[in-house]
Amino acid sequence: NAGVTQTPKFQVLKTGQSMTLQCAQDMNHNSMYWYRQDPGMGLRLIYYSASEGTTDKGEVPNGYNVSRLNKREFSLRLESAAPSQTSVYFCASSTGTSFSPLHFGNGTRLTVT
Partner 1 sequence: GIQVEQSPPDLILQEGANSTLRCNFSDSVNNLQWFHQNPWGQLINLFYIPSGTKQNGRLSATTVATERYSLLYISSSQTTDSGVYFCAVERPGGSYIPTFGRGTSLIVHP
Query: DSSP 3-state assignment of 58?
Result: coil
* From candidates 34, 35, 74, 89, binder to partner 1 by CB under 8 A: 35
Select the residue interacting with partner 1 from 1, 10, 28, 42 (CB under 8 A).
42
For residues 17 and 96, which CB has a smaller minimum distance to partner 1 in the complex? Answer: 96
Q: 43, 61, 73, 75: which one contacts partner 1 (CB under 8 A)?
A: 43
Give how far Cα 52 sits from Cα of 20, 26, 83, 84, Å: 19, 14, 31, 30
Best CA proximity match to 79, nearest among 13, 1, 32? 13
C-alpha–C-alpha distance, residues 59 and 64, integer Å? 12
90 binds partner 1 (CB under 8 A): yes
Output the smallest distance, CB 70 to partner 1, in A. Answer: 20
